[in-house]
Amino acid sequence: MPDPKVSIVIVTFNSRPELLACLKSCEGIRYINYEIIIIENGSREALDLHEVKNLSTHVRTILKSPVNLGYPRAANLGLKNALAHGADYVLLLNDDSEVAPDFLGVLVKVGEDMPDVGALGPKIYYFAEPQKVWFAGGWFNRQTYAVTVPASEWLAQRGESVPVEFDYLTGCCLLVKKKVIETIGLFDERFYLYWEDTDWILRMTEVGYKLVLVPWAHIWHKISVSVGGPDSPMKAYHKTRSHLFFAQLHAPHALLVLQWGIMRDIAWLLVKSRQPDRLRKARAYAAAIKDFYRRSTGKGPDWLWQQR
């Protein structure tokens, strides 16, 4: 039997240097039967298909949107295109990631060997600290639907020789079988940014699919480049608004506690924090709560995007 076909879906927004580095690393992938679909999601500087093919010959197409659709809508364009062109697996990959040459073959082999597994993820390291683990699986708290991640000591004890079952994997790099997408559908486009992958993964587990981390598959992540960094007001706004919406969908009993936690964060920023961007970040949290109750599903306040 030929190797299963994998479509790598990469959504990009104003992250041209990171995307080009990602594509260059993908060209080193040793797995043969794969293609790359790029979704240019309203970026200021247009990509040229010939240019990106010079970096990775596996790029099949660039799907272009003149405006930022938000991650779920943009990713759904790629998912639909991948399935229409015969993908057996779809790999979602952040544009600010770089990959090891063997990671894709490792993930696919484990996926083929474990038919009850619906999605697989690699061990993800910080790009700036290549030996430091950023993500290696996680669990849901079924009362609050918050995510907890294992301690590095626990991971070291498990070693890297067997897949580890979790009930949470990150959408930063996620290999999903075709049958899973056909069963649960695409991303929920009411999310704009963040938590859409958590919602999607939860829907997988609710219909019985298992999730595994494959610890000997490795990639490296540069962390939130397209939203101004891990502590930016934009990230604070969208993670907060999406978290509230996620809780409303899956854990409405936890919504009030979650809101109190956000209010404490605002108070800390206003009273105790010395972060240079603390006022904008507090404003972002407050705007997220307000827009959640207004049922806003768009890009958020214009002032958030002025930094981009």
Domain CATH for 130: 3.90.550.60
Give the pTM: 0.93
CA–CA distance, 162 with 215 (Å, rounded to integer): 7
- Count: domains in the chain: 2
Tell how strand 97-99 and strand 34-41 pair up: unpaired
Average pLDDT over residues 280-297: 94
Whether residues 58 and 184 fall in one domain: yes
Whether residues 53 and 201 fall in one domain: yes
Residue 134: count of CB within 10 angstroms of its CB: 19
The residue type at 187: F
Whether residues 192 and 298 fall in one domain: no
Q: Give the residue ranges of DSSP H helices in 10-131.
A: 16-26, 49-55, 71-84, 103-113
Whether residues 203 and 250 fall in one domain: no
Q: Which residue range(s) make up the domain with 275?
A: 228-307
Q: Determine the pLDDT at residue 146.
A: 76
Whether residues 50 and 134 fall in one domain: yes
How much is the mean pLDDT over the chain? 91
Residue 1 within a domain: no
Q: Name the nearest CA neighbour of 188 among 174, 167, 204.
A: 204
Q: What is the pLDDT of residues 72-112, one digit of tens each?
A: 999 999 999 999 999 999 999 999 999 999 999 999 999 99
Whether residues 65 and 98 fall in one domain: yes
Whether residues 222 and 234 fall in one domain: no
The residue type at 237: Y
